[in-house]
């Protein structure tokens, strides 16, 4: 919006209130229902950004109270760094419309005009002021101030400023740092898919490091809706780096503006300094193709010349922009976020590698949860996010939705009436697009614009989670069948035997041969549990031989091996076959007999481990386990030894070059982590350990 | 012939024990218990020349306990056997619904819906060649209503025979047919009618009564209440046998009504094991026919997907194999329409009694002109 709507301060003839009124549809204040969502959004986004920058784990509280006549009171409180006294007016009273096109990075991005819009809207609809309490760490007291906006001067008006100790009304403790905003506005609180509740729920999913709570009260103080979403990780999102724009993603208007404001004297240095991916050779090449002299002054470049430069950008081979400017949520954290917000039986998540489209780095993450409380005969829930910001409107016109519709979900076990469109079933699908430059369909920034490369990335990620779902469904149907058989032979059959013998006054028959005839298979059942006393995850694998022959097997189980997670009790011993894959050789199982493998693991929290996979080696199939693919296993081992070698080199390198910067060190660490999560071994992907 | 030439109780218990013995014998041999039943679909009903009705054929299905569902069903039948044995020995009886609730105490053998218990009772009837009356099980369903100049004697709760004329001794709702219409409960005493007319819907039944059709056409009217209960079919059969009166059936024109007629005239698929007690051979389908929709230009509705499927199934149902039925069904498929009895009201309330029924009854194939 920066180009189309110059800052009102520069156009004095338009009153700021008029500007607000004119643009309120994309500022998010166009309806009473939406206004409160927008206000919460501005406040919460500010809190999350501030906490992230200061590396604070956010605690955010939102309280809404219905007042008379379509009025709401909104209170938003965080434990962020607070705003220094002198900056308060600036943050709350200025329309921050300045463009920051020189520095590009992934940000939550201001939707509209930030928190100032809230102060403005409150003043326009109620005439009231917005009260702010701000406490900066280390200061002895907090600043209390009421804010309004001088609509002619585009400036905040402060009143009632004082300093006092800030005691949190809820905990009764003095607040050491944080910000609290209280305002009144004309607005309506609504429940449902487009509500403050849904917005915060979605926000909590993609911000698993934040604790967020919402309490909504009616005029009598009765709670009418509340939500509490606790943090599930203490790991803050990685700090994103700013990068320069890439020539492939630039528009003529932006280029002209950059040229106008350039301080470089020569075009070559202009190109090299202001863009990423442009080497000296590339700069010369561009200028050559544009028929421009290298020493031309950027500020003197005419419009048609700029157009030639723009055209040449596409003709020259350029380096891709750096991709470490993105901050994905990472699959394990998405899984945690989803599980905390949605009760489900199965969760599968994928974080794809970053890619570049039209000069903009982007990265796709998707998650799918299935089962639990979700309704099975309505369309799945779609959770769309761009740079960790929930998208709540215009679902139908959004690229993220279209990508979901482009998948043949029937193949993965979801109902898709007519073979296309949004599938039906007890599932929710999350799509997160992280990018330095998310292209929206409109200024309202509610729907992502079409882009073939992004669509294809999302589709691939969805296929990956879809395969996971298919495997899960297959496994649960197998498990159900096995359970039925067990019920049949352990409960129903003995009763039939007992009852018929009673009725006929006969002896009870020997059921062992009957059971073998009915089952005629080897079954495997695993049970995962939690030893709360010893804080250990437990696993029992039982193999039943219901065939007429003796059987011998080696059983292999996947477990979430990591630096933190260790096997504790393991009476049967066995051996490690690969990372996260343990094997036990069983004694010969006679017909009608069973054997149980038990082991426990430390380093996990309750509920972290709720799914495993069992493999076997030996003759004859086992229901409930898969035959191990030796080729995949071999590949997996090779890869591991390679990783180990890399690790060794890295450790040694560290010792020698101890002066390596901290940042570089971090980068290597992250790459390592990424390798672990790469699902390139087909069905033999080893679960990643828990992060903490 | 009576449906209740009731079997000695020893025979009933023995027949039930044979079911249990089949299971027990299999287990002794080291294989999964089984229960053998006749196939209960249209593919296994055939016309019995001697009886003049459709009966189950020779196809058997063996239910074996290798699946949980079948095993449960077997366990249930053992519980039901035990329950029936207790009732027989203690001189009690229960309704099917009561048995459904009693099964709550059967643990893994309990029923999950009344449909399950009703079906199992039918299975046992068929396997043992006994009737549910032998099992001391009563249906929940009540019979239908009769109006017309016929006189019955019904044994009341005090054991006295009560004489009831179904025209003079009843109100507008008619005589309520009890669930047991066998000779120990109901006697056919006197009549002054020429035929029995079975009517599908209550609305049409009441219309004919209001118009005094029973007296005018000298008939007894029976309300079928949709798919007729066993007692309804049985009393028609008795009137037909004992008084020699023909049965004409007057229903809507849709595939489901055709099935109602078939269950009266030829026997129902579900109860084909006792067709000779329940079906009245020679029953006449009076209407509404597909021809009538055209001939009388009746208001009609489009056939639904289910209707179309049902019609298609009827084409291969042996009970509808006659040329006349094939023509009617094909005509209906062609029209794509169905019509209700009450659509005759298009021509006024009296049209059905003044014009439609007299014309249909006078048709040479029916021969009941009055």
Using a CB-CB cut-off of 8 Å, the residues of chain A touching B83 are none
pLDDT at residue B115, rounded to an integer: 86
Domain boundaries, chain A: 8-229, 247-315, 347-472, 498-631, 633-684
| pLDDT band at A476; cut points 50, 70, 90 | confident
Cis peptide before A594 (omega within 30 of 0): no
- B4 inside domain: no
pLDDT higher for A12 or A544?
A544
Please tell me whether residue A329 adopts helix, strand or coil conformation. Answer: coil
Of A24-28, A284-288, A501-505, B179-183, the range with the lowest mean pLDDT is A24-28
On whether the CB atoms of residues B55 and B61 are closer than 8 A, the answer is no
Q: Write down the architecture of domain A247-315 according to CATH.
A: Orthogonal Bundle (1.10)
The reply to whether B264 and B334 lie within a common domain is: yes
Parallel/antiparallel/unpaired status of strands B195-199 and B219-223 = parallel
Residue B212 zone, left/alpha/beta (φ > 0; ψ -120 to 50; rest): left
| pLDDT band at B3; cut points 50, 70, 90 | low
pLDDT higher for B287 or A109?
B287
Interface test with B, best of A503, A508, A516 (most B CBs within 10 A): A503
Task: Give me the percent of chain A exceeding a pLDDT of 90.
Answer: 36
The reply to whether B91 and B160 lie within a common domain is: no
pLDDT at residue A361, rounded to an integer: 86
> A105: which 2 tokens?
């990075």
> A324: which 2 tokens?
């470490």
pLDDT at residue A195, rounded to an integer: 93
pLDDT higher for B236 or A358?
B236
Classify domain A8-229 at the CATH topology level: Heat Shock Protein 90 (3.30.565)
Residues in chain A: 692
The C-alpha atoms of residue B231 and residue A621 are separated, in whole angstroms, by 56
The C-alpha atoms of residue A333 and residue A347 are separated, in whole angstroms, by 11
> A521: which 2 tokens?
């298979």
pLDDT higher for A144 or A251?
A144
Parallel/antiparallel/unpaired status of strands A355-357 and A142-150 = unpaired
pLDDT at residue A166, rounded to an integer: 93
Select from A492, A501, A517 the Cβ nearest to the Cβ of B24: A501
**What does the pLDDT look like over B38-83, one tens digit per residue?**
888 888 888 888 888 888 888 888 988 989 999 999 999 999 999 9
* The last residue of a domain, from among B87, B117, B138: B138
Task: Give me the percent of chain A exceeding a pLDDT of 70.
Answer: 88
- Sequence-separated (6 or more) residues with CB below 8 Å from residue A666: none
Q: What is the mean pLDDT of chain A?
A: 83
Interface test with A, best of B34, B66, B106 (most A CBs within 10 A): B66
Please tell me whether residue B2 adopts helix, strand or coil conformation. Answer: coil
| Long-range contacts (CB closer than 8 Å, 24 or more residues apart) made by A665-668 | A667/A324
- B127 inside domain: yes
Distances (CA, A) of A247 to A146, A269, A314, A373, A440: 45, 14, 8, 48, 20
The reply to whether B124 and B181 lie within a common domain is: no
pLDDT at residue B17, rounded to an integer: 94
**What does the pLDDT look like over A603-649, one tens digit per residue?**
887 777 877 889 999 988 898 888 998 888 888 888 888 877 776 76
pLDDT higher for A405 or A610?
A405
On whether the CB atoms of residues B238 and B280 are closer than 8 A, the answer is no
Distances (CA, A) of A475 to A174, A293, A482: 53, 67, 10
Mean per-residue pLDDT, A92-103: 48
The distance from CA B17 to its chain's CA centroid, rounded to whole angstroms, is: 28
The C-alpha atoms of residue A272 and residue A281 are separated, in whole angstroms, by 10
Between chains, do A509 and B109 touch, taking CB under 8 Å as contact?
A: no
pLDDT at residue A685, rounded to an integer: 36
The C-alpha atoms of residue A425 and residue A402 are separated, in whole angstroms, by 18
The reply to whether B127 and B163 lie within a common domain is: no
Between chains, do B30 and A487 touch, taking CB under 8 Å as contact?
A: no
- B367 inside domain: no
The C-alpha atoms of residue A640 and residue A650 are separated, in whole angstroms, by 15
The reply to whether B60 and B190 lie within a common domain is: no
User: Tell me, what CATH number does B61's domain have?
Assistant: 1.10.10.10
Handedness of CA A498, A500, A503, A505 (dihedral sign): negative
> A486: which 2 tokens?
């067990």
pLDDT at A91 over 90: no
Interface test with A, best of B16, B25, B30, B72 (most A CBs within 10 A): B30
Mean per-residue pLDDT, B144-168: 93
pLDDT at A157 over 70: yes
Between chains, do B33 and A504 touch, taking CB under 8 Å as contact?
A: no
Torsions phi, psi for A157 (to 5 deg): -110, 125
Mean per-residue pLDDT, A447-462: 92
Nearest in space to A44 (alpha carbons), one of A84, A19, A79, A20: A79
Question: Can you state the percent helix, strand and coil of chain A, rounding each to 5?
Answer: 35, 25, 40
Residue located via tokens 């048709």: B363
**Burial class for A556, CB neighbours closer than 10 Å (0-12, 13-18, 19+):** buried
Any alpha helices (H) in A275-302, and if so which ranges? Answer: 280-289
The C-alpha atoms of residue A562 and residue A550 are separated, in whole angstroms, by 37
pLDDT at residue A666, rounded to an integer: 38
Classify domain A347-472 at the CATH topology level: Ribosomal Protein S5; domain 2 (3.30.230)
pTM (predicted TM-score): 0.65
- B90 inside domain: yes
| pLDDT band at A72; cut points 50, 70, 90 | very high
- Sequence-separated (6 or more) residues with CB below 8 Å from residue A586: A543, A552, A553, A554, A555, A595, A597
Per the structure, the count of domains in chain B is: 2
Other C-beta atoms closer than 10 Å to the C-beta of A38 total 23
Tell me if chain B has a CB within 8 Å of the CB of A513.
Answer: yes
The C-alpha atoms of residue A525 and residue A538 are separated, in whole angstroms, by 14
User: Tell me, what CATH number does B256's domain have?
Assistant: 3.40.1360.10
pLDDT at A279 over 50: yes
pLDDT at residue A509, rounded to an integer: 93
Any alpha helices (H) in A196-263, and if so which ranges? Answer: 196-206, 252-260
The distance from CA A634 to its chain's CA centroid, rounded to whole angstroms, is: 33
CA atoms within 13 A on the CB side of B139: 17
Using a CB-CB cut-off of 8 Å, the residues of chain B touching A487 are 68
**What does the pLDDT look like over B246-277, one tens digit per residue?**
999 999 999 999 999 999 999 988 888 888 88
The reply to whether B149 and B104 lie within a common domain is: no
Q: Helix A115-126 and helix A32-53: axis angle, to 10°?
A: 150
**What does the pLDDT look like over A523-575, one tens digit per residue?**
998 899 999 999 999 999 999 999 888 999 999 998 988 888 899 999 999 99
Element (H, E) at B292: helix B290-295
Quote the domain boundaries for residue B37. Answer: 9-138
Select from B66, B71, B81 the Cβ nearest to the Cβ of A503: B81
DSSP A74-142: EEEEE-S----GGGHHHHHHS------TTSB------STTTHHHHHHHHHHHH---EEEEEE-TT-SSE
- B2 inside domain: no
| pLDDT band at A241; cut points 50, 70, 90 | confident
* The last residue of a domain, from among B122, B138, B154: B138
Of A221-230, B4-13, B331-340, the range with the lowest mean pLDDT is B4-13
> A678: distance to nearest CA of chain B, Å?
42
* The last residue of a domain, from among B108, B138, B168: B138
Q: What angle do CA A634, A637, A639 make, to 5 degrees?
A: 110
Torsions phi, psi for B147 (to 5 deg): -135, 135
CA torsion angle B25 B29 B35 B41 (round to 10): -140
List the beta bridge partners of residue A228: A213
Mean per-residue pLDDT, B301-328: 93
Between chains, do A518 and B32 touch, taking CB under 8 Å as contact?
A: yes
Terminal-residue alpha carbon distance, chain A: 40
| pLDDT band at A692; cut points 50, 70, 90 | very low
The reply to whether B76 and B171 lie within a common domain is: no
**Burial class for A476, CB neighbours closer than 10 Å (0-12, 13-18, 19+):** middle
The C-alpha atoms of residue A306 and residue A265 are separated, in whole angstroms, by 16
| pLDDT band at B168; cut points 50, 70, 90 | very high
**What does the pLDDT look like over A161-217, one tens digit per residue?**
999 999 988 888 999 999 999 999 999 998 888 899 999 999 998 898 999 999 999
Please tell me whether residue A278 adopts helix, strand or coil conformation. Answer: coil
The reply to whether B248 and B185 lie within a common domain is: yes
| pLDDT band at B23; cut points 50, 70, 90 | very high
pLDDT at B297 over 90: yes
pLDDT at residue A16, rounded to an integer: 66
Mean per-residue pLDDT, B337-341: 94
- B312 inside domain: yes
ipTM, two decimals, is 0.76
CATH 2.60.40.1170 fits A498-631, yes or no: yes
- B369 inside domain: no
Which residue numbers of B are catalytic?
101
């Amino acid at each position: 919006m920066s180009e189309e709507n110059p800052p009102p301060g520069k156009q004095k003839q338009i009153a700021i209130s008029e500007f607000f009124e004119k643009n309120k549809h994309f500022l998010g204040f166009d309806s009473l229902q939406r206004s409160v969502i927008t206000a919460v959004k501005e406040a919460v986004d500010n809190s999350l950004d501030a906490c992230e920058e200061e590396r604070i784990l956010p605690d955010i509280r939102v309280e809404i109270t219905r007042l008379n006549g379509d009025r709401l009171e909104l209170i938003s409180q965080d434990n962020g760094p607070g705003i220094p006294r002198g900056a308060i007016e600036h943050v709350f009273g200025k329309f921050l419309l300045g463009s920051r096109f020189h520095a590009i990075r992934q940000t939550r991005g201001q939707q509209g005009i930030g928190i100032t819009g809230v102060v403005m809207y409150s003043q326009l609809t109620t005439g009231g002021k917005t009260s702010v309490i701000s406490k900066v760490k280390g200061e002895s007291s907090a600043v209390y101030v009421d804010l309004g906006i001088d609509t002619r001067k585009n400036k905040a008006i402060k009143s009632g400023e004082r300093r006092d100790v800030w005691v949190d009304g809820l905990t009764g403790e003095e607040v050491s740092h944080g910000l609290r905003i209280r305002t009144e506005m004309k607005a309506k609180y609504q429940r449902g898919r487009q509500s403050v509740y849904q917005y915060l729920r979605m926000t909590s999913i993609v911000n698993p490091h934040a604790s967020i709570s919402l309490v909504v009260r009616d005029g009598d103080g009765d709670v009418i809706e509340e939500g509490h979403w606790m943090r599930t990780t203490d790991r803050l999102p990685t700090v994103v780096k700013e990068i320069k724009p890439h020539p492939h993603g630039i528009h003529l208007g932006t280029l002209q503006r950059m040229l106008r404001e350039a301080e470089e004297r020569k075009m070559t240095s202009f190109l090299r300094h202001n863009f990423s991916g442009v080497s000296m050779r590339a700069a010369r090449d561009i200028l050559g193709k544009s028929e421009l002299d290298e020493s031309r002054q950027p500020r003197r470049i005419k419009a048609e010349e700029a157009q030639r430069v723009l055209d040449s950008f596409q003709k020259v081979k350029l380096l891709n922009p750096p991709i470490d400017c993105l901050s994905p949520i990472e699959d394990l954290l998405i899984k945690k976020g989803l599980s905390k917000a949605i009760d489900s039986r199965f969760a599968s998540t994928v974080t794809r590698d970053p890619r570049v489209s039209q000069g903009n780095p982007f990265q796709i993450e998707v998650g799918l949860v299935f089962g639990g409380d979700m309704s099975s005969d309505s369309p799945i829930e779609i959770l769309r996010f761009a740079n960790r910001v929930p998208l709540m409107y215009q679902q139908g016109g959004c690229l993220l939705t279209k990508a979901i519709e482009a998948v043949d979900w029937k193949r993965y076990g979801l109902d898709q009436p007519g073979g296309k469109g949004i599938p039906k079933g007890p599932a929710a699908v999350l799509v997160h697009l992280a990018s330095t430059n998310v292209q929206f369909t409109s200024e309202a920034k509610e729907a992502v614009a079409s882009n073939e490369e992004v669509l294809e990335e999302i589709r691939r990620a969805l296929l990956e989670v879809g395969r996971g779902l298919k495997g899960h469904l297959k496994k649960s149907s197998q498990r159900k069948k096995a359970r039925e058989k067990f019920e049949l032979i352990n409960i129903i059959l003995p009763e039939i035997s007992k009852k018929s013998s009673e009725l006929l006054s006969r002896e009870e028959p020997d059921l062992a041969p009957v059971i073998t005839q009915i089952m005629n298979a080897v079954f495997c059942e695993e049970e995962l549990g939690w030893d709360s006393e010893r804080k250990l995850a437990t696993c029992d694998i039982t193999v039943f031989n219901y065939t007429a022959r003796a059987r011998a097997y080696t059983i292999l189980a996947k477990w979430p091996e990591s630096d933190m997670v260790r096997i504790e009790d393991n009476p049967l011993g066995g051996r490690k076959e690969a990372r996260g894959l343990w094997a036990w050789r069983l004694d010969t199982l006679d017909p009608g007999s069973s054997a149980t493998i038990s082991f426990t693991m430390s380093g996990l929290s309750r509920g972290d481990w709720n799914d495993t996979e069992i493999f076997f080696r030996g003759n004859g199939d086992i229901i409930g386990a898969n035959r191990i693919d030796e080729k995949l296993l071999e590949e997996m081992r090779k890869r591991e030894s390679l990783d180990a070698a890399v690790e060794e080199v890295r450790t040694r390198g560290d010792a020698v070059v101890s002066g390596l910067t901290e940042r570089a060190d971090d980068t290597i660490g992250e790459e390592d982590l990424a390798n672990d999560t790469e699902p390139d071994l087909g069905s033999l992907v080893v679960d990643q350990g828990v992060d903490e | 012939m009576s449906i209740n030439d009731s079997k000695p109780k020893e025979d009933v218990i023995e027949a039930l024990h044979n079911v249990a013995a089949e299971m027990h014998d299999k287990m002794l041999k080291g294989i999964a218990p089984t229960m053998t039943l006749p196939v209960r679909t249209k593919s296994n009903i055939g016309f019995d020349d001697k009886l003049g009705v459709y009966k189950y054929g020779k196809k058997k299905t063996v239910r074996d306990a290798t699946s949980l569902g079948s095993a449960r069903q077997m366990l249930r039948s053992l519980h039901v056997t035990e329950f029936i044995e207790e009732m027989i020995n203690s001189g009690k009886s229960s309704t099917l619904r009561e048995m459904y609730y009693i099964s709550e105490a059967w643990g893994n053998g309990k029923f999950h819906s009344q449909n399950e218990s009703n079906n199992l009772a039918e299975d046992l009837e068929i396997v043992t060649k006994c009737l549910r009356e032998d099992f001391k099980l009563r249906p929940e369903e009540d019979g239908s209503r009769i109006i017309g100049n016929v006189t019955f004697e019904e044994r009341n709760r005090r054991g006295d025979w009560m004489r009831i004329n179904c025209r003079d001794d009843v109100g507008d709702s008619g005589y309520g047919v009890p669930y047991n219409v066998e000779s120990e409960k109901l006697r056919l005493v006197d009549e002054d009618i020429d035929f029995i007319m079975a009517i599908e819907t209550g609305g049409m039944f009441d219309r004919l009564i209001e118009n005094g059709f029973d007296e005018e056409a000298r008939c007894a009217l029976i309300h079928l209440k949709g798919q007729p209960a066993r007692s309804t079919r049985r009393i028609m059969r008795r009137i037909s046998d004992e008084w020699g009166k023909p049965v004409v059936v007057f229903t809507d024109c849709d595939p489901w009504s055709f099935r109602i007629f078939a269950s009266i005239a030829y026997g129902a698929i579900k109860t084909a094991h006792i067709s000779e007690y329940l079906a009245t051979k020679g029953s006449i389908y009076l209407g509404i026919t597909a021809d009538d929709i055209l001939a009388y230009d009746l208001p009609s509705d489009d056939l639904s997907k289910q209707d179309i499927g049902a019609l298609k199934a009827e084409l291969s149902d042996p009970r509808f194999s006659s040329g006349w039925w094939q023509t009617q069904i094909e005509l209906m498929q062609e029209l794509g329409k169905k019509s209700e009895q009450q659509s005759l009201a298009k021509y006024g309330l009296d049209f059905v009694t003044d014009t439609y029924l007299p014309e249909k009854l006078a048709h040479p194939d029916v021969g009941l002109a009055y």
